[in-house]
Amino acid sequence: MQDFTTTWAGYICLIAFVAGYSLVVLEEKIHMRKSKPVILAGCFMWFIVGLYQALNGIGGDAAHHYIKELIAEIGELFFFLLAAMTYINTLAERNVFNSLRAWLLSRGLGFRKLFWATGIITFFLSPLADNLTSALLMSTVALAVSQGNRRFITLAFINIVVAANAGGAYSPFGDITTLMVWTAHKVETQQFIYLILPSFVNWIIPALCMFPFLPKEFPEVPKESIPIKEGGKVVIVMGILTVATAVSFHHFLHLPPYLGMMFGLGALMVYGYFLKIRPDKKEYETGLYGEIHKSETKRFDIFNKIATVEFDTLLFFFGVLTAVGALQYLGYLALVSQNMYQAIGPTWSNIIVGILSAIVDNIPVMFAVLKMDPAMGLDQWLLITLTTGTGGSLLSIGSAAGVAVMGVDRANYTFISHLKWSWTIALGYAASLVTWYLVTGSLR
């Protein structure tokens, strides 16, 4: 790999990366979708690389070969996420999530019991439905029964964000970072079990610290019943089987897991045909987090579910990985690895990287570590998976789940309201590190 870190091309690319990512951080202020600046920055950086090599008579074969490998990595994750998001959208359209929400609201729970119910469900739903979807679903439940109680909203939302990120850390499907580690064969499917206890500790410590400060009221909420639409239960089973297929492709056939996910998507598309020719007779329709409203009966169309996939996230993913790939090609990641992992060791480096993910999105952080590929054992790859997955909980802007939940109730759940309780999350983070050290003792 070339070392362009001290060239004008390297400096320009570094400035472009920082500028592009600064706009991502300011997304909530300037209302520019995060995918826009990173795609521009990533492609511009490769333009500068190509220009520098052309002006200095350096052949472009190495860069061309590197980009082909890079796009293969991006494509694998892109299609995996496309299939997963389509399933989530289909489950939402079939009222699966709204049915769960209505059932939970109808239990008549008090603020304190609802605090635990939403946290527990989020922790165990996140590994399957991903941390973002789980956090959004449970935060709408908490808001629906809050009756405007600021203290409950703040503590319940923090609890949900922490539970979503902690739950996503012990599953290959719970977060993009865990998926990246899994597809890179750094941590195999059955090895994620080591992270269940550290992840649980990461969530339960802040929850126990916040619990005494919760109000003791029992809110009154209207009871509603939302049935799952026709075929919804079948889609649930198909989703579980699709995940099992992806694991089988990866573990037993030694093929990319996205093939298993796309196989499941193909099956869903065929099943969607039968749902389309047999439309639901119900007179209402709901969105994932919206209210019920009357509408005309609509025929199911799987391509509508694909069209509503969060392409901003997928394109952001492409832009970030393209930009980080350029930094790696230029030699910056090797420089960081030398001055960090080799200087202070992998344990402290991974802990610091986790804290850094509260400020910088964990996707580029994890991809950068994978590109550095420091010499680490399974215990350290488990540690970096845990820290990048849960470190973002320290700040409300530190994870996709936190940013999304901020949008559910901007008046009561804010950056500052989350920051006031960050000390509890830091305690959970520290306790999870101790737990990781204990459970992975046999791996060292």
Instruction: Give the mean model confidence (pLDDT) for residues 381-402.
Output: 90
Please give the residue that has the higher pLDDT: either 172 or 444: 172
**What is the DSSP track for 96-118?**
HHHHHHHHHHTT---HHHHHHHH
Whole-number Cα distances in Å, 329 to 154, 333, 368: 43, 8, 11
* Tokens 């609890």, located at residue: 159
Pairwise CA distance, residues 376 & 369, whole Å = 11
* Average pLDDT over every residue of 98-124: 87
Percent of the chain whose predicted confidence (pLDDT) is above 90: 52
- Name the pLDDT band for 414 (thresholds 50, 70, 90): confident
pLDDT (average), residues 392-421: 86
pLDDT band at 10 (very low <50, low <70, confident <90, very high): very high
Contact between residue 165 and residue 130 where contact means Cβ atoms under 8 Å apart: no
Assign 288 a pLDDT band (cuts: 50, 70, 90): very low
For range 228-241, the mean pLDDT: 92
Q: So what's the pLDDT on residue 205?
A: 97
Over pLDDT 70: what percentage of the chain?
94
Give the pair of three-digit tokens for residue 48.
């500068």
Residue 143 confidence (pLDDT) = 86
**Mean pLDDT to the nearest integer, 186-214:** 96
pLDDT category at 100 given cuts 50, 70, 90 is confident
Which residues neighbour 179 within 8 Å (Cβ) at sequence distance 6 or greater?
Answer: 77, 80, 81, 172, 173
Residue type, 362: N
Query: Which pLDDT belongs to residue 389?
Result: 92
The region of weakest confidence among 198-212, 220-234, 388-402 is 220-234
Other Cβ atoms within 10 Å of 218 Cβ, number: 14
Asked whether residue 292 carries a pLDDT value surpassing 80, the answer given is no
Residue of higher predicted confidence among 224 and 23: 23
pLDDT grade, residue 425 (50/70/90)?
very high
Per-residue pLDDT tens for 112-126? 999 999 999 999 999
pLDDT at 226: 81
Specify the pLDDT at position 279: 62
How far, in Å, CA of 307 to CA of 324, rounded?
28
CB 372 within 8 A of CB 362: no
Q: Residue 290: its pLDDT value, please?
A: 45
* Average pLDDT over every residue of 332-344: 87
Would you put residue 159 in left (φ > 0), alpha (ψ -120 to 50) or beta?
alpha
225 touches 102 (CB < 8 A): yes
Is 5 a residue whose pLDDT tops 70?
yes
Q: With 70 as the cut, is the pLDDT of residue 228 above it?
A: yes
The helix, strand and coil proportions of the chain, stated in percent and rounded to the nearest 5, come to: 75, 0, 25
DSSP state of 396: T
- Rounded to an integer, what distance in angstroms lies between the CA atom of residue 174 and that of residue 181? 12
Over the chain, what is the mean pLDDT? 88
Q: Which pLDDT belongs to residue 294?
A: 46
By the 8 A CB rule, do 196 and 170 touch?
yes
Average pLDDT of the residues in 153-163: 95
Query: What SS3 class is residue 420?
Result: coil
Q: Take residue 151 and report the two structure tokens written for it.
A: 């203290």
